[in-house]
Amino acid sequence: MSRLGGQTGTAGPRMDDQMRQRVSAYPGTLTFLDLIAKNKRDSAVLMVFMVTFGVVIGGVLASAIAVYLGAAPDMQTLLPSIVLGGLVALIFGVFGAIWSWFGGASAILAMSGAREITKELDPELFNVVEELAIAGGIPMPRIYLIGDSAMNAFATGRDPQHAAVAITVGLRQKLTRDELQGVMAHEMSHIRHYDTRFAMLMATMAGLIVFACDAFWRIIWYSRGPRRSNSDREGGGGGILIIVLIVIAVLLAIVAPIVARLIQMAYSRQREYLADAGAVELTRNPLGLASALQKLGDDDEPLVDTANRGTAHMYIVNPLRKMRDAGQSLDSMFLSHPPVKERIARLLALAR
């Protein structure tokens, strides 16, 4: 396995046979119109699925808590808890969705410490973004700068009319114009494909499920446990039911956050490839983005200040350093981004 690192100085990153093979598998039939339609559909389906999933979790966890605290394990006593838990989850889900729809983008920009800039501050950056907006036939997004020396960039916004792109000072300074164009084209593709909407809703929902399960653990942990008088009254079959219910709830509380993250990350990885392809569709120059990814991959500084597992999926490369290069192992399922090498390989395939 030859190392891709280092600057070759001539024609972009090198490509070996293994890579050539991998890149030839690239699917080239998808157009961005299909993508947009698919993404909007996925967003809707996912919302319904996640809210339902959340309601079920809410109901099960609430009834488990009720039983744990001493309620009799029959349908009649548990029904109010189930309904209440489901209802609370539903309300949280709906409000979460509404919040992320209208306020998510600004919240993320504020969280990452980004500040909006005007054209006078950086004409070149503005021109590059405007060129790509024209190429993609979308409105000009707002542009934000993150005062961090690490190299990264992201896009957000529920649709192209309400979109923003953000780039760190570190990345802005280290890229040539062609590379900057590649990076921005990648971000603009996320906007154009409605990935930003999807990612936002997905992150909110996954976050809420994680939060619900976390709340469950805390309640179990801090409560004083089953009240003796009640569990004495129930005996035999009731006891087994209690155990079964609590085991199901515990399993759910362990598995649900993992499943939520897995779904989120699987989508995120796929979308990174598609945004890379979309970037090339805009710039018609795969080498610019490939070269930028090379620089990003070689960069050692993680963006720890403002990024966490919850926001990692938005960035152009994973801001959490240790997750950037992981190969084909099991934990690649939890990665928000495909390996940088693989992405460069696919880009070079387009430059053939």
Partner 1 sequence: MNGIVGGTLGAGAALGGLVVVGVIIAVGLVLLLLFAGMYNGLVRRRVDADNGFSQIDVQLKRRYDLIPNLVETVKGYAAHERGTLEAVIAARSRAVAVPAGAVAERAQAEGQLTQALGRLFAVAESYPDLKANANFGALQEELASTENKIGFARQHYNDCVGRYEEARQAFPTNLVAAAFNFEKRDYFKVEEAAAREAPKVSFS
Q: Please report, as ranges, the residues that interact with partner 1 according to CB under 8 A.
A: 7-9, 12, 123-124, 127-128, 130-132, 134-137, 176, 178-179, 282, 284-285, 287-288, 290-291
Token pair recorded at residue 232: 């004495």
For the chain, the helix, strand and coil percentages under 3-state DSSP, each to the nearest 5: 70, 5, 25
Token pair recorded at residue 266: 């699987």
Nearer CB in complex with partner 1: 13/170: 13
Q: How far is the CB of 308 from partner 1 (least distance, A)?
A: 33
Residue 165 · residue 172 · CB < 8 Å: no
Distance, in Å, from the CA atom of 47 to the CA atom of 191, rounded to the nearest integer, reads 19
Nearer CB in complex with partner 1: 24/176: 176
> Residues with catalytic annotation?
187
Nearer CB in complex with partner 1: 129/307: 129
Nearer CB in complex with partner 1: 93/288: 288
- Strands 142-146 and 164-168, bridge-based pairing: parallel
Q: Which residue has the tokens 């409560």?
A: 223
Closest listed residue to residue 278, CA positions, set 135, 157, 126, 163: 135
Residue 203 · residue 310 · CB < 8 Å: yes
Distance, in Å, from the CA atom of 268 to the CA atom of 199, rounded to the nearest integer, reads 7
Of all helices (H) and strands (E), which one includes residue 286?
Answer: helix 286-298
Q: In this structure, what DSSP letter does residue 121 have?
A: G
Residue 318 · residue 312 · CB < 8 Å: yes
Half-sphere exposure of 148 (CA within 13 A, CB side): 21
The type of residue at 246 is I
Of all helices (H) and strands (E), which one includes residue 217?
Answer: helix 195-222
Residue 195 · residue 39 · CB < 8 Å: yes
The type of residue at 113 is G
Residue 26 · residue 346 · CB < 8 Å: yes
Token pair recorded at residue 93: 């889900």
Half-sphere exposure of 151 (CA within 13 A, CB side): 20
